[in-house]
Structure 1
């Protein structure tokens, strides 16, 4: 077989054309963090993923003391599906440990509690301003309109990651501009090995926060 490319196109031209169609490494990476990575963070992961379908966003999760390779608990899976998550995605989850490369790769880390927020920042200190609890993020961003978010993102240009970085910085600055919340109001209660009622309480805290994160992402992008 001949090594000559077809139609008179040189190999260099083929390489250059292939390069044009390679996706840019500009996909937003959002990391959810909890303890075991079988209840709260995978619930947040699959719910947010269902709300940003088609956007250049990768949502994943990890645990500070993960039950490695374990699936979401049955109650968490049921609640995920009830709140709009894809059934197959909820069923395909396998827990993984929070490691430095995973945290280092994230553009935004959303922790389920202040404890998890601290653990992520200790692992990657440079992520201090990009790491919030998910309820903290929702509380702070709730003071901003879609126009506020969009204008901030527009000033950062067209890159999805740059737009998110600008919006995250704006939200982080709200820490000093809004009234402080009670510490427990920024945490999502841990339902692991507890009653179905506790799972539902935990989801009731988490789902509105996920919806607010989705609003921010849609406005920013």
Structure 2
């Protein structure tokens, strides 16, 4: 989510969907909106060009405004900046533990060490990230915001692109790490050949399922 749903949030939406399609995770339904969007408008031409450079098609994107209906169906809400997070929480205070800025979400997942149960349990992933908020904060205040490049210099647009891509790549990388079950490692091992090896493999599988 961003302000106009014309630059930051559509780029994040399409990039996150594309990156997740390259993994074997069960992807969530991904959409975007703006806190002050005028519905039905196209994405800004410059972000459409940036999207093409990343293999994304933003030509058909049309803006939409954030509303209660959209939030009611959201498992996790990722915002461009802290001001958008405050807007979401003003509307739905109960979404405190599932609403983040996109850079904050990537940072919190990077700090999470325990696996998360389930291949597609994105709500559990959000709860795991939320638990990290109780730990001491690293970095300067405001470094979790994604800059708004509208009417800004080329350098600001470059910063937006760099930070947006880094955040999305971080989210996907850590989602794969945290949501991948331990038993997945068995698929890369040679198949058991003897009864002893079969019993050992079965015991490892049963142990992994019990811990999940």
TM-score between both structures, scaled by the size of structure 2:
0.77
Query: Quick check: 1:140–1:178 contact (8 Å CA) kept in 2?
Result: no
Q: Distance in 1 between matches of 2:7 and 2:38?
A: 11
User: Secondary structure of the equivalent of 1:59?
Assistant: coil
Which runs of 5 or more residues in structure 2 are unaligned? 181-212
Q: Equivalent residue of 1:115, what SS?
A: helix
Partner SS, residue 194 of structure 1: coil
Q: Which stretch has the larger CA shift, 103-112 or 135-144?
A: 135-144
Q: Tell me the CA shift for residue 68 of structure 1.
A: 1.9
**Residue of structure 2 in register with 1:153 after alignment:** 117
Partner residue of 2:205? Answer: none
Q: What does the per-residue CA deviation read over 1:80-126, in whole Å, with 9 as the maximum and x for residues that have no partner? A: 221232x2xx1110000000110121000000000000101111111
Q: Deviations over 1:12-42 (max 9, x none)?
A: xxxxxxxxxxxxxxxxxxxxx0000000000
* Length, aligned pairs only: 176
Cα distance in 2 between the residues matched to 1:70 and 1:197? 26
Matched, 1:47 2:15: yes
> 1:179 and 1:65 mapped to 2: Cα distance?
30
> Match for residue 139 of structure 1?
107
2:40 paired residue among 46, 69, 84: 69
1:78 counterpart = 2:49:
yes
Q: Distance in 2 between matches of 1:178 and 1:142?
A: 14
Q: Map residues 10-29 of structure 1 onto 2, 5 A cutoff.
A: none
TM-score normalised over the length of structure 1: 0.74
| Secondary structure of 1:186 counterpart | coil
Which SS does the other structure have where 1:132 is aligned?
A: strand
- Whole-angstrom distance in 1 between the partners of 2:107 and 2:91: 25
